[in-house]
Amino acid sequence: MPPGLAMPLANALTRLVLDRSLREAMGAAGRERAKAIYAEATVLKRVVALLS
């Protein structure tokens, strides 16, 4: 969403409210993304790289 524009955000939120399958798909995709980004091994590799 473009910053500062309420209508596109409102439209996107309305679409999510009305479309269960879209909500479920976006939730699943977000969960997988978070698991990949914040997996313990991944985070530890980044921390070690920063401290090395």
Q: Which residue has the higher pLDDT, 33 or 3?
A: 33
11 closest CA partner among 3, 1, 22 = 1
What's the pTM? 0.69
Mean pLDDT of 12-39: 97
From residue 6, how far is each of 1, 10, 16 by CA, in Å? 9, 6, 15
- Give the list of residues 6+ apart from residue 9 with CB closer than 8 angstroms, or none: 1
Quote the pLDDT of residue 3: 86
| pLDDT reported for residue 1 | 75
DSSP, res 16? H
Those residues whose C-beta lies under 8 Å from the C-beta of residue 16, and which sit 6 or more positions away, are: 22, 23, 26
Percentage of residues of the chain with pLDDT beyond 70: 100
